[in-house]
Copies of this chain bind each other. A is one copy, B any other.
Amino acid sequence: MTLSNSAYDELMAFQRETEALAQVAGRLGWDQETMMPRGAAGQRSEEMAAMEGVLHARRTDARIAEWLDKAVANDDVARANLRHIRRSHTRMAKVPARLAQELARVTSMAQGIWAEARANDDVAAFLPTLTEVITLRREEAACLAGGGDLYDALMDDYEPGATAATIGAMFDRMRPRLVALRERVLGAAKQPQKLEGTFPQAAQMELTRKLADAFGYDWSRGRIDLAVHPFSSGSGDDSRITTRVVESDPFNCFYSTIHEVGHSCYELGIDPAYRLTPLGGGVSMGVHESQSRIYENQMGRSRAFTGWLFDQMVATFGPLNVTDAEAFYASVNKVHSGYIRTEADEVHYNLHVMMRFDLERALIRGDLAVADLEAAWNDRFLADFGVAVDRPRNGMLQDVHWSCGLFGYFPTYTLGNVYAGCLMQALRKAVPDVDASLAKGDARPATAWLNQNLQRHGGLFEPEEVVTRACGFTPNEGPLLDYLDAKFGEIYGL
């Protein structure tokens, strides 16, 4: 039996309503990307601003501090709840309202300016706004850091407990091995075939629903729709995903779907007792990404699963130019040099992230001037990718993140890949016949293990702790790098 006290109960009741309202705001965001008539955009921005106003007022409500003073935790769940509430309340309290509002205003405006600058390949048009965003975020970081590292203070929002020093050291260990692998792979004599053809939208959507089924997506608590950018949205009993269709490239749709299914299965798999509490969502961006990536890559792009997918594609689209399962596996995993992070293969992806991490860390620390960012980007890209950036939209203007003020977010992508590598190693030990199921298009035994060992805990443990508990060892980059070397070494006959 759980003892309780009234301050804790009142705080949790208040939080529960706040979380319900946050879910509403999230659903509004989903609607905007999927259903909203385009002429409603102006009104919608007022609706969203009103919701944000309500949420901000609740999150800075003076009673929270009083409740936190008096609340007593009588079990691990209560302790974890108070830890989360205290952390976000402390962050809120440190940042002056004036600064928070200014950040909201500038980043909201900056996204439009960035989008136009990207469309026009016009770096100069974006730099003044980017400077403003960075200045404000540095100011915010100074409020939060209390004399500590500015970048750490920002990253803490996305990956509590992570530090730039540790991440940076890990990235520095990973980078040479990845660069070496990419060079060997691109230089290999044996190069996989590329899938070619036209794959009609309706058939892609039909097959993409089967893929979601294969990974155990719960349709009674989710749905899939088309959007410009694939995303997953919502917690608790309503977590929806979107995908996109390019008729010449069905993998775009299929692997976007599997990726978002990973995010949504995490949300839907959290202990129902935590619904609408601080424990009821994924615990960090890195852990979230570990789920989307292990679904998408370690499982979705495995030989076993692509064997099943090959049969499905032939059944759906008729004969392919790639004529057997082995060649299909290679074509799914074809490594290609490219400018764009979101289109990168498993070998290149983390190199994209690492350069962004180094650049944004330097920007926040004041070691890199905004005016020098483009040159720094292009130099680093040439060094790591062996290719010169041809235009800004393929270079420093490609990602939305910085215009949104998301500094400290990029490293969580690679952290997710590292965690996914560790989890897959542990999963293979615990579920030895995982490949046999994947070969039948059934990832559910694997996802059941992930649910039992990681997903169901939601925010109960700290990010690194929950991964460590699931794996049985401290997460490190070894398993991911070994997996990549082995997989691509074999595909490319190295």
Contact = CB atoms under 8 A, between A and B. Distances in A.
Contact of A37 (B16, B36, B222): B222
B275 A238 contact: no
A28 B25 CA distance: 10
Nearest to A218: B39
A43 B17 contact: no
B275 A39 contact: no
Interface string A28-40: 1001000111111
Given A43-B237, A44-B238, A223 B23 contact: no
A39 B237 contact: yes
A222 B43 CA distance: 13
Contact of A43 (B23, B36, B50): B23
B236 A37 contact: no
Nearest to A34: B35
Contacts of A38: 220
A20 B49 contact: yes
B236 A39 contact: no
Nearest to A18: B50
**Which of A16, A20, A276 has the largest number of chain B CB atoms within 10 A?**
A20
B20 A24 contact: no
A235 to B, nearest CB: 9
Contacts of A220: 37-39
A20 B49 CA distance: 9
A275 B43 CA distance: 8
Contacts of A44: 238
Given A23-B43, A31-B31, A37-B223, 17 more contacts: A16-B46, A20-B49, A21-B54, A27-B28, A27-B47, A35-B35, A35-B223, A37-B238, A37-B240, A39-B218, A39-B238, A40-B236, A40-B237, A43-B236, A43-B238, A46-B276, A54-B54
**Which of A21, A40, A236 has the largest number of chain B CB atoms within 10 A?**
A40
Nearest to A23: B47
A13 to B, nearest CB: 11
A39 B276 contact: no
A202 to B, nearest CB: 12
A144 to B, nearest CB: 29
A43 B235 CA distance: 10
A44 B370 CA distance: 45
A362 interface: no
**Which of A39, A236, A238, A240 has the largest number of chain B CB atoms within 10 A?**
A238
A42 interface: yes
A67 to B, nearest CB: 18
Contacts of A237: 37, 39-40, 42-43
Given A223-B37, A238-B37, A27 B17 contact: no
23 contacts: A20-B43, A20-B46, A20-B49, A21-B50, A23-B47, A24-B24, A24-B28, A24-B47, A24-B50, A37-B222, A37-B223, A37-B237, A37-B240, A39-B220, A39-B237, A39-B238, A40-B237, A40-B238, A42-B237, A43-B237, A43-B275, A44-B238, A46-B276
Contact of A53 (B17, B37, B275): B17
Top 10 A-B residue pairs of the complex, sorted by shortest distance between their CB atoms: A40-B238, A39-B220, A20-B50, A39-B221, A43-B237, A17-B50, A20-B47, A40-B237, A43-B236, A20-B46
A221 B37 contact: yes
